Amino acid sequence: MVFRSPFPDVEIPDVSLHQLLFGDIADRADRVALIDGMSGASLTYGQLAGAIDRMAAALAARGIGKGDVVGILSPNTPYYAVVFHGILRAGATATTINALYTPDEVAHQLHDAGAKMLFTVSVLLPNAAPGAAKAGVTDVVVLDGAEGYPSLGELLANDHPVPEVSINPAEDIAVLPYSSGTTALPKGVMLTHRNLVANLVQCGPILSDVGPHTRILAVLPFFHIYGMQVLMNNGLYIGGVVVTLPKFELPEFLRVIAEHKTDRVYIAPPVAVALAKHPIVDKYDLSAMKMLFSGAAPLDEDLADAVKKRIGCKIAQGYGMTEMSPVSHAIPDGREDISIGTVGVIIPNLECRLVDPATGEDVGVGERGELWCKGPNIMKGYLNNAEATAATIDDDGWLHTGDVAVIDADGVVSIVDRVKELIKYKGYQVPPAELEAVLLTHAEIADAAVIGVRDADGEEVPKAFVVRQADSSLDADAVMAFVAAHVAPHKKVRVVEFIEAIPKSAAGKILRKDLRAREQA
Ligand code: 4UV
């Protein structure tokens, strides 16, 4: 049974992302596009479009063009948008890297993506420089300047021609964010211009309250698909103002909402915990905040109600996945009748099915099934990995999300479980396979498996089951410290249990469901 959006299909223009966002900015050239929430510095749409042109010209002069990949390792600032859209304007592909990555993690993504160049900022240089060196990337730009590196200002001060590239929106890869999908290690997710353009346009009927008057608080990172598309690109598409913050710190977050009067604030669920509970929230005038929108992990309904009462704003929830560019479901603006514990309705131009993982049969209204989606926002595939692509998108074009959902008679969807390996820590991806590989490099660890468990606050955290070598007296703290030294902070193992043997199938696959059952017992 195929489920569809309550909204009619929308027309998806056959244009590049640059054409969609900046093709005609005559009406908004003098209006502010981006504000740096830390310094207050701003860029108008005209300045932004001009800087993007200069960036594209500089990249073309360095030999970057169609088929090339350029890395971005930077916290959110207005210049992120200049670099990101400059790369796309030059016809190249941007691979966006988690700003907290270790040098090895940076190197791995740059190498896997085949990146030729890297943009970063001075505070991240201690990880960026060795990462780039290990990946053999020698062309590194430090946006705010650092000795021995070209800066953004130097790059933009050029009079090269803007390259004339012809983009094929359905084929050309605009971005290459990394996601582990349903299994194994992170893979490059090939999202075409059409994928990104489609998802912005598909969200139009859902985001019916937004427009040039909208002021978005952008603290969720632009390197992750949610920040990239729903905050940065959608904010620019609607002609709004995007106020950037480089990281989440509650006082700064509250100050910026109050000072910059951001009316639309996008968060992941842990921020809602702070908004519901922290005493300092009462010290700020948050009356400008009309809508708080949560996604990337399940939002607890009681928690959302508590925030709503305390702040007096509307709350909505969306659901998506890197591989879907990313939005597939959301609670539409103005639909306060829909429960905040759900992810709302299907977006236009998208078809969905719910399939029982055990039988492979479609299920109907009110029954649990794995969510499958098909539409113009579904990725082209994983980079250099036809096998993983085929395991995720079937022959008929259905993307298997690995999430279990229920749809009610009104077409409202709830995400109720996950059948894939992925762990979400504060909305960030933690692929268990990556942590297992790190654990197995420890001389005193004979075997290991990682699953997601709930901590005392109900947050999902990575837990390692570890089999020690025969004469080892390794303790939990040592295991956690070992992993922490090798991975970005969000991937840390936070609970350890020593066991006799990891349950495995005859084929040697970790039986995670047995570990989950053991955990529940
Ligand atoms: O690939 P990814 O890291 O992607 C995301 C995307 C989050 C979005 C996208 C559009 C929105 O409008 C929005 O609000 C949030 O996180 O991880 C994808 C997986 O994250 C889980 C689910 O397991 C996905 O397969 N996930 C994302 N959103 C939700 C969620 C949610 N609202 N409830 C439960 N799980």
**d(C-alpha 396, C-alpha 136), whole Å:** 39
pLDDT for position 458: 85
pLDDT for position 471: 95
**d(C-alpha 460, C-alpha 455), whole Å:** 6
Closest CA to 71 of 175, 189, 198, 171: 175
The protein residue whose alpha carbon is closest to atom 18 in ligand 1 is 321
Q: What is the pLDDT of residues 499-514, one digit of tens each?
A: 999 999 998 999 999 9
Fold match flag (43-166 vs 425-520): no
- The model carries a pTM of 0.98
Closest CA to 264 of 295, 242, 237: 242
pLDDT for position 438: 97
Q: What is the pLDDT of residues 216-257, one digit of tens each?
A: 999 999 999 999 999 999 999 999 999 999 999 999 999 999
Kindly state if the Cβ of 460 falls inside 6 Å of ligand 1.
Answer: no
C-alpha dist (Å) from residue 91 to 66, 112, 173, 354: 5, 20, 9, 37
**d(C-alpha 1, C-alpha 481), whole Å:** 49
Ligand 1 midpoint to CA 321 (Å): 5
Ligand 1 midpoint to CA 354 (Å): 17
Kindly state if the Cβ of 297 falls inside 6 Å of ligand 1.
Answer: yes
User: Count of alpha carbons within 13 Å of 317, Cβ hemisphere only?
Assistant: 26
Kindly state if the Cβ of 429 falls inside 6 Å of ligand 1.
Answer: yes
Pocket test for ligand 1, best of 176, 229, 319, 416 (most atoms within 8 A of CB): 319
Kindly state if the Cβ of 179 falls inside 6 Å of ligand 1.
Answer: yes
Ligand 1 midpoint to CA 346 (Å): 14
Sequence-separated (6 or more) residues with CB below 8 Å from residue 75: 99, 121, 124, 221, 246, 247
C-alpha dist (Å) from residue 422 to 124, 151, 301, 435, 458: 27, 37, 23, 11, 17
pLDDT exceeding 70 applies to what percent of the chain? 100
**d(C-alpha 427, C-alpha 297), whole Å:** 5
- The reply to whether CATH 3.40.50.980 applies to domain 43-166 is yes
Q: What is the CATH number of domain 425-520?
A: 3.30.300.30
The protein residue whose alpha carbon is closest to atom 30 in ligand 1 is 297
Kindly state if the Cβ of 105 falls inside 6 Å of ligand 1.
Answer: no
Is the confidence at residue 457, as pLDDT, over 90?
A: no
| 305, 340 contact by CB (below 8 A) | yes
Tokens of 339: 């429960």
**d(C-alpha 485, C-alpha 477), whole Å:** 12
Q: What is the pLDDT of residues 295-334, one digit of tens each?
A: 999 999 999 999 999 999 999 999 999 999 999 999 999 9
Helices 476-484, 432-440: axis angle to 10 degrees equals 110
**d(C-alpha 448, C-alpha 518), whole Å:** 15
pLDDT exceeding 90 applies to what percent of the chain? 98
Q: What is the pLDDT of residues 86-111, one digit of tens each?
A: 999 999 999 999 999 999 999 999 99
Domain locations along the chain: 43-166, 425-520
